[in-house]
Amino acid sequence: MSSSARPADAAPAASGVWGIPEAVLGWFSSQVVGLFAVLGVAIAGSWSLGLIERPGGHLGRAVGQLAAGNELRDDMLPLFWRMATLAPGWIALLGVSWAFAAVLGRDRPGWSLKGEWSDVGIGVVAGVLLQIPLIPALYVVIQLIVGELEPTGRALGLVDQIGGPFDVIMLYAFVAVGAPIVEELFYRGLVQRSLVERFGPYIGIGAASLIFGLVHFSLFELPALTLVGLILGLLAWRADRLLPAVVAHMVFNAWTLTILVAIA
């Protein structure tokens, strides 16, 4: 699996390679498609879109249902459908980029499915290092500067919905396998590569990392996700292929998910 990121003094990208316009249209399309997928499923099943954050969320929902004179029931969008509705957005993210590239007469995405065995080891080490020393150290420094931060409970609310082994397997399949592959193809293979080719590696990798942090829409997680994007971006750029970043992303997500499942 290969990204086309390369040093700033390399030759300009060929006009037939996907670029920034495809990335922008693909991202916005994925947001619209993903939103309609979630709304459609929620309306069809009469489910609530809200994801309860602990503590007290379930009690508050029950009190609200009683106050409204409604039957007490778990009306949260089931975990299966929360995960399943990710797929349409992913398809739009890459599919619309491809379709727009075809309209522009560009036929190469800028990545290929190849790698080396050493990429796996490098990715594992990078994913573990992000989880153990780097991100904890980052938040120690941030809290020394700005004071106590208020963490989000979105992820914990998600694992609270686990109802059995199938839910756990599905979470790992989507969060620890599917998301890293799709996001690395898009954010490192397309967004970062395009920015590096236009602005050079320093600005390109830095901008792509910040974009990666911002699109997760969480102020608390922004510093960590930007750092993750930076490390993954450096891995992809230095190796000139995506596999080290994909493996590191998988390890990072799987580590986080394992901790959340263990404490849920």
* 12-44 pLDDT tens trace: 444 578 899 999 999 999 999 999 999 999 899
For residue 70, being part of any structural domain is answered with yes
For residue 92, being part of any structural domain is answered with yes
**Cis peptide upstream of residue 55 (ω within 30 degrees of 0):** yes
pLDDT at 152: 66
Query: Residue 190 sits in which domain range?
Result: 20-263
For residue 186, being part of any structural domain is answered with yes
| pLDDT beneath 70, residues of the chain | 1-15, 50-75, 149-153, 156-157, 264
Instruction: Transcribe 38-69 into DSSP letters.
Output: HHHHHHHHT-B-----SSSHHHHHHHHHHHTT
For residue 43, being part of any structural domain is answered with yes
pLDDT at 70: 52
pLDDT at 47: 81
pTM of the model: 0.84
Beta-bridge partner residues of 2: 112
Q: Output the CA–CA distances (angstroms, integers) from residue 112 to 2, 158, 166, 241, 242, in the order listed.
A: 5, 33, 32, 8, 9
Neighbours of 207 (CB within 10 A): 18
* 194-203 pLDDT tens trace: 999 999 999 9
- Tell me the two tokens of residue 96: 């619309």
For residue 4, being part of any structural domain is answered with no
CA dist., res. 30 & res. 216, Å (int): 13
- Tell me the two tokens of residue 248: 């590191």
For residue 6, being part of any structural domain is answered with no
CA dist., res. 259 & res. 227, Å (int): 20
pLDDT at 131: 94
For residue 12, being part of any structural domain is answered with no
- Cβ neighbours for 261, distance < 8 A, ≥ 6 positions apart: 159, 162, 168, 171
User: Into how many domains does the chain fold?
Assistant: 1
pLDDT at 153: 64
For residue 11, being part of any structural domain is answered with no
Q: Output the CA–CA distances (angstroms, integers) from residue 78 to 35, 54, 110, 213, in the order listed.
A: 16, 17, 37, 27
